[in-house]
Structure 1
């Protein structure tokens, strides 16, 4: 197979399963360096009605799951994350952000030559899930953007102006209309889908099926 297999990932930065799914995809690809892929990230919001300033994360999780269940889920994710090299943490005062601005930043990365959108995704996931940073804060996002080669001042101004927010909302709406109701959601070659943080073996199986199909034609 000569062309890279396109992989579209619909995700939300605040979703721990999306971070785990990213790691499992990377593990799958590391085991099959002969399979070339091209990964593009697409936006989704699990909490589209989150206030722009966000909420206290512990309180937000407790309001959804109940306080005791929220603690159990956090402990489970820490165990699962450790197996993937992710040190999930929630420092006191950590925010549950509105992720629209983070998705706008990811959208810009996908359209900017020389900017690695996948690296930006990693840095956003790490900032939220490991360092407990507020990725709804434009100043925080501008700092992260600078780490991947984007101009922090330009990013900060554009985020504060709301540039491309409607475009990103439209992309989120398209995902919902296409039937995506949970994340992560992986689309391989525009025709094969996997929902959830699948094990590397399941990902390889799909990629090999695509490769076999192309070889037969």
Structure 2
């Protein structure tokens, strides 16, 4: 398929954001339906809370401090769960014991991108599953290394790099860039680096946006705007 019939979507997200998991599932539907457009996905980092320490926090205590009560937390989960179920997600919020700092997870996602789009997509999907359906701690290096191996990465390289500061500043710079662009919540879908679709949109909305931008690209209108 020619470049004129392709489009790049940069997905700004955090792997502990339930709306991002739902958004990922809907994006999959969008890509499957948009057979006339070749869609390339790149995952970009965002941290819902970069102040969480590297060892993480007790998730229940963290959420109570953030939302005020267990009842409020149950209300939030009850609103998200059926939306996830509709997309094939079995949210297991009670199984999640740790609210992790996701900086290291984003580093691994960055390295997965160097291994190719397929590997990166596979890793992101696995991290969402581990956190939300299996209650795994995404701040745990063993969890991240195993996920990298499952995604097809060289796990020994990930194991070597994770204890170092490799790409820490690069990831933080990307997050800061997203903030400067006005991205304050995720998911955010950036089409061809210039058109933003904010929030967890339905598959039809994403499909329409992708087709419109792809059509504008094919007509040469994106180049004219430069």
Say yes or no: does 1:34 pair with 2:30.
Answer: no
Say yes or no: does 1:169 pair with 2:175.
Answer: no
Q: How does the TM-score come out when normalised to structure 1?
A: 0.94
Say yes or no: does 1:79 pair with 2:95.
Answer: no
Q: Is the 8 A contact 1:188 1:207 kept in 2?
A: yes
Deviates most, 129-138 or 52-61 = 52-61
* Secondary structure of the corresponding residue to residue 73 of structure 1: helix
Say yes or no: does 1:90 pair with 2:93.
Answer: yes
Structure 2 gaps, min length 5: 221-226
Say yes or no: does 1:64 pair with 2:78.
Answer: no
4+ aligned runs moved over 3 Å, structure 1? 214-217
Tell me how far 1:20 sits from its aligned partner.
Answer: 0.5
* Secondary structure of the corresponding residue to residue 90 of structure 2: coil
1:186 alignment partner in structure 2:
189
* Secondary structure of the corresponding residue to residue 41 of structure 1: strand
2:26 alignment partner in structure 1:
24
Distance 1:104 1:159 in 2: 8
Q: Is the 8 A contact 2:96 2:136 kept in 1?
A: no
Equivalent of residue 130 in structure 2, options 108, 127, 130: 127
Q: Is the 8 A contact 2:10 2:44 kept in 1?
A: yes
Q: How does the TM-score come out when normalised to structure 2?
A: 0.91
Tell me how far 1:32 sits from its aligned partner.
Answer: 2.1
1:7 alignment partner in structure 2:
9
Q: Is the 8 A contact 1:184 1:197 kept in 2?
A: yes
2:146 alignment partner in structure 1:
143
Distance 1:215 1:163 in 2: 39
Distance 1:83 1:115 in 2: 25
Change (3 A) 1:73 1:173: same
